[in-house]
């Protein structure tokens, strides 16, 4: 069957719908359904419709989608990938409709899979991330990655696309927002089957995000069983003796640790603590309540002042 057959089938269906006598309608409808069934069988792999998924499930090439569930709904930040040294800019989305299409496909799929999705859709949001990165990192590039936490993400997903020869290549990366660890990456190469560029991008991105999410879902569900993650960066700015600094460090790593489901020390020096805490969502509603634990825990040893608190990031000074 060729494309003319598919077009003819459409014409038959339209003619059938225009017929008045019911008795004449049924044969035309039956022929139209038969024509569409044949077309679906021949072109099913070219149409990213629900029928394609159903057909794939019957064959060996099916993508086994993870059925892991979450104790608390994870939050995902979706944004275009930027080159090293480039400043994130919403103009990538505004000026490139195909980039916007890619982001919409990813957002829609993740939303359907129980994630809370943050789409960077305004310059103000991007400016907030960039400014926070500058405030936190300063000359310390190792802390620049925590800027993504300003919007409260558990996972950052970045996307990029390019044309290589006659193929569309979609690259996706998923990183843990609190540690910047790469969770998974996925690259899909797709040939154009005669569809529009927008449909081509939609089909390729849909395949890529299904594969990527399947790689990270089990791990993320397991991590979230430990509790909601918060990044805590603390700086000792007061005039402390070595003994006082050691007492503060011990209090954080022993007594304050007990207040949470888990505490992971990313790095701890005399004057800087870089921590990841897993808080019970039934006990701690937000980052402010996590911050209060440090204020109360260090009471009598030092004063704790907030430098910046966002949804998942707590930057504090110990004076």
For residue 149, give the CATH number of its domain.
Answer: 3.40.50
Instruction: Verify that 198 and 251 share a domain, yes or no.
Output: no
Cβ 118 vs Cβ 75: under 8 Å: yes
- What is the maximum alpha-carbon separation in the chain? 96
- Written as six digits, the tokens of 178 are 């609190």
Instruction: Verify that 150 and 179 share a domain, yes or no.
Output: yes
Global confidence as pTM: 0.66
Instruction: Verify that 237 and 303 share a domain, yes or no.
Output: yes
Axis-axis angle for helices 287-297, 242-253 (nearest 10): 130
Half-sphere exposure of 82 (CA within 13 A, CB side): 15
pLDDT per residue rounded down to tens, the chain (319 residues): 433 222 222 222 222 233 333 344 454 444 444 433 433 333 333 334 443 444 334 433 456 678 888 877 888 988 888 765 554 556 677 778 888 899 999 999 999 998 999 866 655 555 665 565 555 545 444 444 555 566 778 888 989 988 888 899 999 999 888 777 889 999 999 999 899 999 999 999 999 999 999 999 988 888 888 888 898 999 999 889 999 999 999 999 999 999 999 999 988 999 999 999 999 989 999 999 999 999 999 999 999 999 888 788 888 999 9
**Residue 138 placed within a domain:** yes
Residue 93, domain extent: 75-224
Contacts 24+ apart (CB under 8 A), 257-260: 259/293, 259/297, 260/227, 260/290, 260/293
Q: Name the domain boundary from 192, 224, 256.
A: 224
Q: Name the domain boundary from 224, 243, 265.
A: 224
Burial 208-239 (b: 16+ CB within 10 A, else e): bbbbbbbbbbeebbebbebbbbbbbbbebeee
**Residue 58 placed within a domain:** no
CA distance from start to end of the chain: 77
Which residues share a beta bridge with 236? Answer: 318
**Residue 263 placed within a domain:** yes
Instruction: Verify that 162 and 42 share a domain, yes or no.
Output: no
Instruction: Verify that 218 and 89 share a domain, yes or no.
Output: yes
Q: Name the domain boundary from 194, 224, 254.
A: 224
Instruction: Verify that 201 and 255 share a domain, yes or no.
Output: no
What is the rounded CA–CA span in Å between residue 269 and residue 272? 5
**Residue 302 placed within a domain:** yes
Instruction: Verify that 218 and 80 share a domain, yes or no.
Output: yes
Domain count, the chain: 3
């Amino acid at each position: 069957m060729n494309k003319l057959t598919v077009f003819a089938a459409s014409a038959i269906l339209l003619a059938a719908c225009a017929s008045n006598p019911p008795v004449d309608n049924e044969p035309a409808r039956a022929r139209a359904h038969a024509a569409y069934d044949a077309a679906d069988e021949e072109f099913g792999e070219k149409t990213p419709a629900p029928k394609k998924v159903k057909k794939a499930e019957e064959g060996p090439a099916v993508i086994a989608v993870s059925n892991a569930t979450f104790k608390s709904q994870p939050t995902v930040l979706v944004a275009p990938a930027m080159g090293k040294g480039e400043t994130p800019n919403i103009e990538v989305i505004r000026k490139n409709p195909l980039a916007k299409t890619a982001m919409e496909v990813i957002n829609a799929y993740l939303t359907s899979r129980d994630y809370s999705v943050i789409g960077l859709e305004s310059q103000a949001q991007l400016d907030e991330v960039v400014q926070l990165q500058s405030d936190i990192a300063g000359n310390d590039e190792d802390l620049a990655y925590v800027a993504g936490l300003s919007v409260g993400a558990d996972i950052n997903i970045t996307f990029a696309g390019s044309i290589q020869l006659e193929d569309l290549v979609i690259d996706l990366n998923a990183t843990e927002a609190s540690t910047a660890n790469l969770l998974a990456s996925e690259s899909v190469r797709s040939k154009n089957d005669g569809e529009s560029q927008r449909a081509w991008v939609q089909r390729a991105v849909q395949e890529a995000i299904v594969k990527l999410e399947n790689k990270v879902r089990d791990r993320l569900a397991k991590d979230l069983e430990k509790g909601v993650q918060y990044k805590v960066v603390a700086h000792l700015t007061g005039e402390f003796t070595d003994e006082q600094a050691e007492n503060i460090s011990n209090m954080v790593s022993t007594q304050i640790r007990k207040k949470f489901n888990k505490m992971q020390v990313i790095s701890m020096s005399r004057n800087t603590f870089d921590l990841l805490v897993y808080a019970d969502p039934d006990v701690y509603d937000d980052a402010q309540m996590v911050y209060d634990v440090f204020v109360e825990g260090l009471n009598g040893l030092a004063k704790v002042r907030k430098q910046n608190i966002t949804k998942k990031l707590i930057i504090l000074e110990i004076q």
